[in-house]
Structure 1
Amino acid sequence: MSKIIRIGTRDSELALWQATTVQQKLEELGYDTTLIPTKSMGDQVLDKPLYELGVTGIFTKTLDVALLKGQIDIAVHSMKDVPTQLPKGIVQVAVLERAITHDILVHKGSDFLESGQPSTIATGSLRRKAQWLNKYPNHQVVDLRGNVNTRLIKLIENDWQGAIFAQAGLERIKLLPKDAIQLDWMIPAPAQGAMLVVAKEEDKFTREALAKLNHSETEIATTIEREFLRTLEGGCTAPIGALAQIKDQAVFFEGVVFSLDGKQKIDIKKQVKLSDAKGMGKACAEEVLQKGGDKLMQEIRNENSALH
């Protein structure tokens, strides 16, 4: 094992935690590794909402380029940040066992949820914004960007009532407040809580090394969710949630698409045997499109193009 596997990662605390986790697992298997942190465009441009930047893969593109140039051997990502279509020459080599998938509300006192008073919640996610407004139509949702640490500081500094985060991210870097509220009614982003490792298609050594870290149940579930996303999205940014769970040799799937203002909602729930799960994400997305999702997605595209 003479080759040193160079691990590319974003330089945020959470991204470094993820990359270090992969590094430790590889080293336990006897591989030599080194970490190569870098800043992504998504970490640098913080004064605009993600959807206004109009770039897919804003957190992954820098690492894709480094991979294709041969500056790193693998890149470790939060899977929900990765476009469903990987660049030519780059392949998925491992999906690690998934953490908890829920979103949570970090707040300064939760009385406002019952009071019905107009309140302000922060998130940079169209999906979280639409679902929040669907449940609390009299609230205002403001944009919140930056890494986890930056977003927590912004919440303290502003007069917002709360902000929405992925529970897995805060747990991983030990920043989960004890009184955070789990939003079990909110459908997570496709592949939320999962870590993805990619490598160059031609790099047989690295691909074989990373295959040993793959968690097959997580891979199946995230494949279904990302297939649902890809079939619906057609390259546009939209409030889409998806969750596939495997239990007792069956797959339970829940998927949803909202209008940007949260007023319209088209959802689907399905259960199939694990042996019949191939193509499940695509089939569920096609059903959503037939139920009016195609019209809704077109409206979202029109609103997005007006923003750009």
Structure 2
Amino acid sequence: MNLPSSSTTLANCTPKLGLLQRNTLGIESYAEQAIVISKSEQIPLLLQDIKAHGLPWQVLGGGSNVVLPSVLPGITLLIDIAGKEVLSSDRTETLIRVGAGEHWHDFVQWTLAQGFPGMENLALIPGTVGASPIQNIGAYGLEVAHFIENVQAFDTEKNGFVTLSNRECEFAYRDSYFKQNPNRFIITQVTFKLPKAWAPKLTYAELAKQFSNQSPTPLEIFNAVCAIRSSKLPDPKVLGNAGSFFQNPIVSEAQCTELANQYPAIVSFPDAVGQRKLAAGWLIDQCGFKGKRIGPVGVYDKQALVLVNYGGGSAQDILGLAKQIQDKVQETFGVQLQIEPNIF
């Protein structure tokens, strides 16, 4: 569907649209009414119509970081805005504007093919470009916040398009201004700034071990990250999952030291001054959940951080298992795990 803005109203919505292919957890869900947004110009008139009818609404991209109910009420906007444009490139940096509906991994691969390295550590993260700032996606020592120049979005409170700078996005660990203000912004484009001065980011143990005493190229790091992620995470097309289901909890140095005295093998990483980041997967594994199955859902046998849907699992099944894990980790370690995906 590629409708001009003047005709994009509720009359163009598709009723009872199945969303099985729009969520990587593989939950059987459908939208009461849905419409594909392929151009940002469609949004203002459509939202005006939605508000005039007093209908609930929500935005859905690639569905890689969501837990969907059996029915999404009201109107679901499916963001498929495409396009990649190099705005400028000089001796110091390259600016690239990307449509919110572009697939994230394909975009990272494209940057390397164009000779713009930097984001190779973020390879194979599922989802769309538009979703990346919301969660401030990150992996292997990098966060997307390091590269975002600004985010273009429709502000439903101001009823107009806005551009938020990196600072205004208020990025934090798996957090952002967008996540703190759900349903206020509909992200349409993201502008990335990639510095020309490149150096490999090998702070994570697996990459450091693989490239010890080597000077890898960006493509070699990209391929290594893809291989490591593939060995740990199931393919959503084969086994439904939303990637890491819990955030790595951040605790004080004092609490980490206390835990390390009780559990010498505990896995942690440096964070801000006076803080340590604990490996949530290790905590879950120690509580006996790795590989555990409860009905149609379970914990992946190769990575305890990943909850999987073996088929037919609902949001209630997934969240019920998550609650069991949270309670046991809290009881055992005194640490509260936060769910990473958005729960609709």
Superposition TM-score, scaled by structure 2 size: 0.28
Superposition TM-score, scaled by structure 1 size: 0.30
Higher-Rg member (1/2): 2
Query: Comparing both structures, which one devotes a greater share of its residues to helix?
Result: 1
Greater RCO (CA < 8 Å, at least 6 residues apart): 1
